Structure 1
Amino acid sequence: MGAIANYLVLSLPQSTNAHDWLTQELIGGKAPLYKIKLPDFQSGTLDSLVQESDELSKYDQQLSASVSKVIDILSTVTESDSTSRVVNSKQATDFIQSFTWNTTKYRLDKPINQLVKILSNEALTLDNDVRTSYQNYQAAKSNFLAADRKKNGDLSIKSLHEIVRPEQFVLDSEHLATVLIAVPKNLKSDFEDSYETLTQFVIPRSAAVIATDSEYLLYTVTLFKKYQQEFTAAAREHKWHPRTDFIYSEETLNNLRKEFDITRATESKAKNDLIRLAKTAYSDIFACWFHIRAIRVYVESVLRYGLPPQFDYYLIKFDGANAKNVSKAKKELIGKFGFLGGDGFSNTSNLHEYASLVDTEYEPFVLYELEVV
């Protein structure tokens, strides 16, 4: 996994005049601070904001999981942890540190519930597209690996059509058949000493090695057709590998060649299509996710601090040697701004009835953690 940057997303009433303290005093001024400007949304009623708070929490988690899933898929398919995380032509960290609301796509004359619906539908549709594309790639990869095993596996599993020749078989005989047995090299003596007596009517000294690899010897053995099934069953008991799947056919040989080429081309196309889609989806889902997070911060701020919306929004960054300071920073923030927990709902008296319904995970002020991989 690539480098991780952790952030605290913080909203405070403008009356706290927090900027200088956050810049100079919070964990000794070591955490980079970014001030984010959010627009004033069409808030609606307090009842609608409480309902929207629950929806936003759900979508925030869903879209965060979607972003992580796309990252996992890209890392798996490209076999690399260094895949660039680009959002709207910027590095993901730069995107959120310089975030501005996309008023072209998400017009501010729409109420919050419509904006949330648009954003979540867009992101979850892309998430579904990526998952479908990944399933298609997995199926194509599985088909190619099966064809590759037939072409390039060991003698116990690979296609034998390019190895054997017609003259190595008894063909068109009414009574005789030639069988192929892949024998592990460490069982060579066992095979040669006992194959003639596995069943009746095995042709003496008919065993011949026609191919070898690092693990197996491939033998032909000729016997009466009547005892072919009995012979192969006994061979398996000896831990040899009868290749009963093989029937000599020029047509089958040509089909196998085509199968390998077709499945290889299909797997390659499915992989390239998936990578292109996943990179685009990462950008768009991440952007939707952070827009959802922005609305969530706004809604929680209104519910906690009251109207009119006079809040400052901050990103506090923790990465590198500073990454371990998130918990310490939270304690310092509570020490400095904990008084908001007692006053947060008193500015507008009719907010009291909503106090028990508001997301209280980040009391005594609006605070969320954010991880960017």
Structure 2
Amino acid sequence: MKYCLVSVPLEAVDSDEPLDALKGIIGDNGTVLNFAVPDFKIGTLDALVQQADDLGKLDTNCEGLVAKVADSLKSLLDDSDKVEEQKLVNDKPTDNYLRTFNWNKVRYRADKPIAELIDTLQKELVTVDSDVKGKLNQYNQVKTNLATLQRKQTGNLTTKSLTPIVDPSLLIQDSEYLETHLIVVPANLKKDF
């Protein structure tokens, strides 16, 4: 599913209901919803041009991070239905989130300069990227540990733990002069041993 966010100044529409005018233009080709965004504290034209460039870079970085998370999910889950279940925004499916979008006025206060909001978003992006990398590293470490344990459980006797095979009562214990050493000899080398 594709989404297109269109910003239209209310003065450009000749109708009392701008959404109805847009619905008439789009027809059956999509759904028109109000996507309420607060009025921001706007500075100079030069500052706005710089902030537009900064937002473009931030958008590219966000897109890259989302693609990295999506690729990680695909490689971890190996099932497209499970991947789709995990594609959530604030614990909501993407379509539902966009249809019920409300600006977070506490976290992203509109009375702050746009440059400050961009800085906040950039810091959050870095934090999310670090969290994703940390979680992937943790997952890979656990996966490696599990593979090592499985290899010890199912491998040959040179790597496998002998604890479930050898009865502890057969071993010499608590002796000052004797030690028990277990030796694994392949069956084809039994005569040589």
Structure 1 segment 1-373 matched on structure 2, within 5 A: 5-17=1-13, 19-26=19-26, 28-79=27-78, 80-153=82-155, 155=156, 158-159=159-160, 161=162, 162-163=164-165, 180-181=185-186, 209=187, 219-223=188-192
AA of the residue aligned to 1:92:
T
CA drift of 1:114 comes to 0.4
How many pairs does the alignment contain?
A: 173
> 1:16/1:157 Cα in 2 relative to 1: closer, same or farther (>3 Å)?
farther
> 1:223/1:164 Cα in 2 relative to 1: closer, same or farther (>3 Å)?
farther
Q: Which structure's relative contact order is higher, taking Cα pairs within 8 Å and 6+ residues apart?
A: 1
Mean Cα deviation higher: 107-116 or 61-70:
61-70
Distance 1:15 1:29 in 2: 25
* RMSD of aligned residue pairs (Cα, Å): 3.0
> 1:94/1:160 Cα in 2 relative to 1: closer, same or farther (>3 Å)?
closer
Distance 1:110 1:16 in 2: 27
Distance 1:105 1:179 in 2: 64
Q: Secondary structure at the match of 2:42?
A: coil
2:41 touches 2:110 (CA, 8 Å); kept in 1?
yes
Q: Secondary structure at the match of 2:112?
A: coil
Aligned-residue sequence identity (percent) comes to 31
Q: Secondary structure at the match of 2:39?
A: coil
Q: Secondary structure at the match of 2:67?
A: helix
Specify which structure has the higher proportion of strand.
1
AA of the residue aligned to 2:22:
L
AA of the residue aligned to 2:63:
S
CA drift of 1:121 comes to 0.6
1:180 touches 1:220 (CA, 8 Å); kept in 2?
yes
2:19 touches 2:33 (CA, 8 Å); kept in 1?
no
String of CA shifts for 1:57-114, please: whole Å, max 9, x gaps. Answer: 1111211222233333344445532424333343222222232221111112210000
String of CA shifts for 1:251-278, please: whole Å, max 9, x gaps. Answer: xxxxxxxxxxxxxxxxxxxxxxxxxxxx
1:63 touches 1:124 (CA, 8 Å); kept in 2?
no
1:106 touches 1:115 (CA, 8 Å); kept in 2?
yes
1:23 touches 1:33 (CA, 8 Å); kept in 2?
yes
Unmatched runs of 5 consecutive residues or more in structure 1: 173-177, 182-208, 210-218, 225-373
- Where does residue 341 of structure 1 map in the other structure? none
Unmatched runs of 5 consecutive residues or more in structure 2: 171-177
* TM-score, structure 1 as length reference: 0.41
2:158 touches 2:184 (CA, 8 Å); kept in 1?
no
> 1:87/1:67 Cα in 2 relative to 1: closer, same or farther (>3 Å)?
same
> 1:111/1:157 Cα in 2 relative to 1: closer, same or farther (>3 Å)?
farther
String of CA shifts for 1:99-158, please: whole Å, max 9, x gaps. Answer: 2221111112210000111122123212211211211220221122012112124x3875
AA of the residue aligned to 1:9:
L
String of CA shifts for 1:266-297, please: whole Å, max 9, x gaps. Answer: xxxxxxxxxxxxxxxxxxxxxxxxxxxxxxxx
